[in-house]
Amino acid sequence: MSNDVVLYHAENGVATVTLNRPDQRNAINPEVCAAIRAAFDQVETDPDVRVAVLTGAGSLFCAGMDLKAFAGGAGDTILFGEHGFGGFVKRKRTKPVIAAVEGAALAGGFEMMLACDLAIAGTSAQFALPEVRIGLIPGAGGAVRLPVSIPRVRANEILLTGKPFSAQDAADWGVINRITPDGAALQAAQDMAADIASNAPLAVRHTMTIASAAHAANDATQWPANDQLIRDIGQTADAAEGARAFIEKRAPVWQGK
């Protein structure tokens, strides 16, 4: 299965799902959400696929939500469609997914990486949750998952400053598994996927269920409040101003409402 905005390839038990809008920084719009949803439907239902790799075409993993689509009224579809942001971040999966990051994973792109089970990044990769800088909140899992994945003070620094951090920082803080030379993250992720795919599939599935239990319990309690807050803030003047300022490449003028 492939289409223009998401590519799908499966071989030797490993499916590779590639976000394919490099000219738009692989930003997520409603079409991409539907295509990601369909790709992981196939991952879950194909008995020959045991592990998936999620990556981005071109020089960047994913810049997050397409703010032009958001400004045009598609935010609800992108954020609250089936399986949450990108048709992925809330998905209940039975097979491991490895993120292969080159360039940058920003905002919702970083949150999609956080929704994966493992992550590998190129040396020059950068990460950020810059939502507070455009009047939004990290509502696609950043504020839910990061504080239970890394030390709270580190999570708060990432969430509240919106500043980018390096692949080395990500590795040191336990956000990613390992760093590769630039351009080698996808191959390293596919190699790791092949290692996992060679193991007993039921053992892998049940081990993942146990290992993910604490995060799953946290997600179940936190998502309702998270979603209400992002719905509320999405209706504010500051959220609209942040998106306009980003599109117009100027500094936002906050009103605090």
Catalytic residues: 111, 131
Q: Cα separations (Å) of 214 from 142, 149, 205?
A: 16, 10, 16
Q: By C-alpha distance, which of 14, 61, 17 is closest to 39?
A: 17
Say if CB 170 and CB 118 are below 8 A apart: no
- Phi and psi for 202 in degrees, rounded to 5? -70, -35
- Across the beta sheet with 104-106, the strand order is 104-106, 126-128, 165-166
Q: Are strands 14-19 and 6-11 parallel, antiparallel or unpaired?
A: antiparallel
3-state secondary structure of 139: coil
In angstroms, rounded to a whole number, what is the distance separating the alpha carbons of residues 186 and 102? 8
Q: Would residue 108 be called left, alpha or beta, if left means φ above 0 and alpha means ψ between -120 and 50 degrees?
A: alpha
CA–CA dist 122, 102 (Å, integer): 5
Of 81, 76, 100, residue with least CA distance to 36: 81
In this structure, the number of other CB atoms found within 10 A of the CB of residue 30 comes to: 16
Among the listed residues 70, 65, 101, 72, the one whose alpha carbon sits nearest the alpha carbon of residue 86: 65
